[in-house]
Amino acid sequence: MRSTVAEINISALHNNIHVLRSKAPNSALMAMVKANAYGHGMVDCSREIENDVDFFGVAVMYEGVTLRLAKITKPIVVMMPPDIYDAEKFCECDLQMVACSLDLLRDFNQEAIKQNVILKAHLYIDTGMRRDGIEPHEAVGFMDACKEFTNISIIGVCTHFATADDVNKAFAQEQLEKFNGAVQALHNAGYTFQYIHAANSGAVFHHPDAHFNMIRPGLSLYGIAPANTINTGLQPVLSLKTRINALRRIQPGESVSYGRRFIAAQATTIATIPIGYGDGYSRLLTGKGMCLLHGKRFQIVGTICMDECMIDVGNEPVDLGDDVVLIGTQGNATISVNEIADTIGTIPYDITTLITARVPRVLVGKT
């Protein structure tokens, strides 16, 4: 196995499910495992938590099929509108779809009839994200039109928040009011749903009135709290680790890596580690990245390469094979996903999902 690994702490993952359930004790939990479980390893994480969650949420059909091939049996909702050519696999693999196109539903219904199955769906209402879904005022008419689809059962109704973790709650509240209005209009027209869901991670913590009877936590499941949230009890699941694979002493005026972006001001030791932007450690961290070695923080110097990067360890006595942490804790020092995201002006989601498949995910903390 490579010395560069992403350790996935299963104990922390279970802790986070407990925290999330405590926030919404009367709601089912759909674990969002799209994008390779936000970089944490979709199949392994799903297998570990299947008995503790009610649904799995993915973005595209391929992810749902992958979970079925891995023998995951819990309900799987594909939360992005499917492609017209996905109908066969949706029916074969018992995947649930979001409903926001009558033409698409008509095609999927024909395939469901052909395969003699009932395809489950969730009515998707656009309350302000302006990405997917139908307009709130169209909900009743849409459901009326769906009566012709004999092999599609719309068991849920949902929406998605654009600003659930903002300090200013005005827009999220506006979205919630639109959603509640649409659900009430549907109820008045005689339509009821087994599941009503809207709460992503931010809404789980900031908008308890949006929990309904199912929540859809994503990044918080993996121990990264929504913005403007403190003391959540969440525990980070992922640590990114590697080991020193080369050492060299350089002199004043010598440079490191492509473009000579780092030139030594004094004699120093440069340690090379086998991780780079080909592993998902962003090149944008050039001149900014930090790592932990011997429980201390050191600067990553020079341009980050595809497969390697370099650390200025000064006069620290280091050896080949010494452990280096890029995300996680070593001794009393920690580098968090949030810190890295802030360093390059992005969001935590971007940091973990960038970690590529060639970095092995190693499960730790199993009981």
Of 330, 334, 328, 308, the closest CA to residue 256 belongs to 308
Phi, psi of 349 (to 5 degrees): -55, -40
Catalytic residue status for 34? yes
Could you tell me if 287 and 277 are in contact, meaning their C-beta atoms sit under 8 angstroms apart? no
Burial 220-255 (b: 16+ CB within 10 A, else e): bbbbbbbbebeebebbbbbbbbbbbbeeeebeeeee
Q: Which two tokens stand for residue 13?
A: 């993952």
Residue 228 contacts by C-beta under 8 Å, 6 or more apart in sequence? 165, 166, 167, 206
From 34, 89, 120, 178, the catalytic residue = 34
Burial class (CB in 10 A: 0-12, 13-18, 19+), 103: exposed
Catalytic residue flag (residue 277): no
Nearest one of 125, 188, 190, 185 to 156, comparing CA atoms = 125
- In the chain, where does DSSP find H-type helix? 10-23, 34-38, 42-49, 61-69, 87-92, 102-115, 139-145, 170-188, 201-206, 337-344, 348-353
- Please give the structure tokens belonging to residue 72: 């995951």
Catalytic residue among 71, 114, 258, 366: 258
Distance CA 359, CA 158 (A): 35
- The candidate with the shortest Cα–Cα distance to 4, out of 312, 339, 306, is 306
CA dist., res. 300 & res. 277, Å (int): 13
Backbone angles phi, psi at 354, to 5 degrees: -70, -20
* Both structure tokens of 52: 């503790």
Q: How many CB atoms lie within 10 A of CB 181?
A: 15
Residues belonging to the active site: 34, 258
